[in-house]
Amino acid sequence: MNDYNEISRCNRCGFCQSVCPTYLATRDETQVARGRIFLTRMLLEGRYDFTKDEDVLEKVNDCLLCQACVVNCPATVRTDDIMLAARRDFMEARGLSLFQKLVYRGVLSHRERLDRTSFLMRLYEKSGARNILYGKTLRRALDRLVYFDSFLPSGLNKPARTRLNEKMPAVNQPKMKVVYFLGCASNVFTSETVWSAVAFLNKLDVEVLIPKVSCCGEPHHTGGDEGEARRLAKKNVPLIFGVEADFIVTDCSTCASALRHYDKILGDCAEAAIAKPKLSKVIDLATLVTEHLKPSSIDLKPLDIKTVTYHDPCHGIRGLGVKAAPREILKSIPGLELKEMEGADSCCGGAGSYCFTHPTMSGLISTGKVNNIAATKAEAVVTSCPACSLQLGAGLRRAGLDTQVAHPVALLAKSAGLKV
């Protein structure tokens, strides 16, 4: 880590306390950007040791990397980058954690294994094992298990890819050609969103290519596993940047933000040279629809729900600067009212796999988010990220609420009468 200058720019004004989700959930200085920065400074000054100090690593890993502190910091201290650099150094000094080995390198790095995981999850639900878990007696004893179970949506579909071809049904005289980056979580957890999005794009005469990509590498990157992130990125570059297309689009804000910043992960290599000139073509689904497709020609019908609220994924609002597009889409649907929740742009606590590695903190943050959603009395919470969808769904389920969770473009497709 050679970020000493970045770190020492923090003069401890404390303003990050007003936005840092882990601080707001705990009111504890060991859970705020200012404290995290102070600790990394002590690391650099040699007070602590990358190879030994478990407690420091723990604090570094407690950060959601949500960037709320960064955009609110008067000195624009890049706490997220500093935490990443520290994780990288810890990783180099100590190797991968068990979770990283099993989940990131073990599953996310391999597309087929991920599909198999989906099968197991559906089996678990259909076999009735889940109902046993929710039985009253076991429930208390198995609190943690129930927590983890709450993430599994009911009626989970087959992976999106099983119903998609690499090149979707030929569109007569396509107006536009896009590469659809099918991310891991979208593929496994929100197939309907992907199917609706592709159908909607086809209806607007957009030719959609769906190459067999690997994981975007963001989970590895945020865990400090730089080598693996780079390997995956290099594999993806020819598939998405090496083909002629107007845009590279994805329904997942995290993938979109990772791809848009691929130059950071790739460093200096042949693939970087291919990717760099085309990074600006990476776009999130909602922005593609509002800014480049203008679907005014489509006849939209009212939905069965009347009110929605929108949750901004961190990678959408701060990673890509997307704020208006999804809201515009929601407002364009006849009879639908958008009710803004308090703190719409604060992290839901999902933060990739944070909800699994940090159940307690993630649960605390989730409760705050769910309360804000509930206060709007909206029938659905809409968001543009499958990981947020999972986290919001789980939080709502634990609170016993039946608020739906949806992607803005999936609602739009539904309103356009498309069935998936």
Partner 1 sequence: MTSTHSHLSPEGISELSKIVGQAYCRTGRLDLELYSYDSSPFIHFPEVLVLPGTVEEVAAITALCHRRHWPLTARGAGTSLSGGAVSYLGGVAMSLTRLDRILEIDPIEETVLVEAGVVNLALQNVLARQGFMFPPDPASQKASTIGGNIAENAGGIKGVKYGITKHHVLGLELILDDGSTVKTGALAQGLDAVGPDLTGIFMASEGTLAMVVRALLKITPLPNSFRTVSAVFDDLERSGKAVSAIIAAGIIPTALEIMDHRLIVALEDYLHLGFPTDAEAMLLIELDGLGPELDGQYERILTLCREAGAVSLAQAATPEERDKIWLARRSGNGAMGRIKQGCIVQDVTVPVVKLPSMLSLVQKVAKKYDVIIVQMAHAGDGNLHPHLLYDLKNEEEYKRCLKASAEIFREALAAGGAITGEHGIGLEKVEFMNDQFNEAELDFMGAVKRAMDPDGIFNPGKLLPERWQTWSTKSDSSHSSDGLETL
CA dist., res. 366 & res. 98, Å (int): 25
- CB under 5 to 8 A by kind: which of ligand SF4, partner 1, none does 169 bind? none
Of positions 2, 22, 33, 38, contacts partner 1 by CB under 8 A = 38
Is residue 410 within 8 A of residue 381, CB to CB? The reply is no
Q: How far is the CB of 218 from ligand SF4 (least distance, A)?
A: 15
Under rule CB under 8 A, residue 35 binds partner 1: yes
Report phi then psi at 114, rounded to 5: -65, -40
DSSP state string for 291-324: III-GGGSPP---S--EEEEE--HHHHTTT---H
C-alpha–C-alpha distance, residues 234 and 237, integer Å = 5
Decide: is 30 part of the binding site for partner 1 (CB under 8 A): yes
Which is closer to partner 1, CB of 73 or CB of 333?
A: 73
Residue number with CB closer to ligand SF4 (80 or 228)? 80
Instruction: Kindly write out the interface string for residues 64-93 of this chain, putting x where it contacts ligand SF4 by CB under 6 A and - elsewhere.
Output: xxxxxx---x-x-x-xx-------------
- Which stretch, 29-37, 124-132, 246-254, 383-391, contacts ligand SF4 (CB under 6 A)? 29-37
Partner whose footprint covers residue 59, from ligand SF4, partner 1, none (CB < 5 to 8 Å by kind): partner 1
In 337-385, alpha helices (H)? 354-357, 359-376
Taking the least distance from each CB to partner 1, the nearer of 6 and 226 is 6
Binding track over 39-78 against partner 1, x by CB under 8 A = x--x--x-x-------xx--x-------------xxxxx-
Residue closest to 65 by CA, chosen among 260, 359, 364, 319: 319
The minimum distance between CB 192 and ligand SF4, in angstroms, equals 30
CB of 358 to ligand SF4, least distance (A): 11
What single string gives the DSSP state of each residue in 5-61? HHHHT-----GGGGT-HHHHHH--GGGSHHHHHHHHHHHHTTSS-TTT-HHHHHHHH
In what order do the strands lie in the sheet containing 307-311? 337-338, 307-311, 380-383, 404-406
Residues that bind ligand SF4 in the complex, under the rule CB under 6 A: 10-16, 19-22, 33-34, 36-37, 63-69, 73, 75, 77, 79-80
